[in-house]
Amino acid sequence: MKKKISFQGLQGAFSDLVCRKFYKSYETLPCNTFEQTIDAVQKNLAEIALIPVENNIAGRVADMHFLLEKISLKIVAEHYHKIEHHLMAKKNSSLDDIKNVYSHIHALSQCRKKILKNKLNPVNFIDTAGAAKFVSENEESNHAAIASDLASQIYKLKILIRNFQDSKNNITRFLVFSKKSMKINKKKKVITSIIFNTKNLPASLYKALGGFAANGINLTRLESFFVNKDFKQFSFLIDVESHPELSNFKNALQELDNYSSKIKILGHYEASPFRKEIN
């Protein structure tokens, strides 16, 4: 019996494509929400879960930070994938027929110039694969979807324009979650992800992060987000280039602890080869 990897969306979603690319021996398990994607692992319906967390054009994925705060799973891998949006329609449709284009709000925003150029009416849909499925099942010939090549194959749609996105450099970062952490050689380039809340003291963030600088550890990501509705409490998410078992990391973590009211290590994982390309 094949191991399963859960993802949010229908078959043919970009997350499904990334699952199939990096985990060829796994069977993909579609889920309606990010919470259900994570729950699938917690309930042993899947071995691992793959979730998009940020895009270099659209920014961070909404609500992921709140999910990370509550999650009991560990991050065990990261993957970067170049997003290629394609304009697709039913096989009897032509580009001249198309009036409405359906897709996820991020996909529509990433193809905004091409949509305007082709005088199409953008319609927000729950996800890219769902839009492709909707177009395939709709009797109208003037509908199109923006989705992946995989979605066009699954829902038997014709690609009218390939690489419909405005930017050629459209990259999404995905994280993989599991119940157990992976054992990684300390000599490899490792990323450790941490969420923490600072104490209500002057310069607490500066001092909390100072331990990483003092111990020669590079921060590759720093984000803040509110953890309650009255905007009084911040959480910070950081990625650092260090294995958590190294002594300099432990020293830095101690300094972080001195100025934090809460620390949660989300996981450590081998740095994606893509990081070498962007450095």
Question: In a structure prediction context, what are the per-residue pLDDT tens digits for the chain, which is 279 residues long?
Answer: 889 999 999 999 999 999 999 999 999 999 999 999 999 999 999 999 999 998 887 777 767 777 888 889 999 999 999 999 999 999 999 999 999 999 999 899 999 999 999 999 999 998 999 999 999 999 888 999 999 999 999 999 999 999 999 988 889 999 999 999 989 998 899 999 999 998 888 888 999 999 999 999 999 999 987 766 655 667 899 999 999 999 999 999 999 999 999 999 999 999 999 987 665
Confirm if 29 and 7 have CB atoms less than 8 A apart: yes
Taking residue 14's Cβ as centre, other Cβ atoms within 10 Å add up to: 26
Cα distance between residue 128 and residue 105, in whole Å: 9
Looking up tokens 């390939």 gives 162
- Per-residue pLDDT, 29: 97
Query: What is the model's pTM?
Result: 0.91
- Per-residue pLDDT, 133: 97
Domains of the chain by range and CATH? 4-83+170-178 (3.40.190.10), 86-161 (3.40.190.10), 190-278 (3.30.70.260)
Question: Which residues does 131 contact at the CB level (< 8 Å), separation at least 6?
Answer: 102, 103, 104, 125, 145, 146, 147
Pair of tokens at residue 274:
């893509």
- Per-residue pLDDT, 6: 98
- Per-residue pLDDT, 278: 60
- Per-residue pLDDT, 1: 82
Pair of tokens at residue 134:
């909707």
Strand spans (E) along 158-275: 158-161, 171-178, 190-198, 219-226, 234-241, 260-270
- Per-residue pLDDT, 227: 65
- Per-residue pLDDT, 233: 66
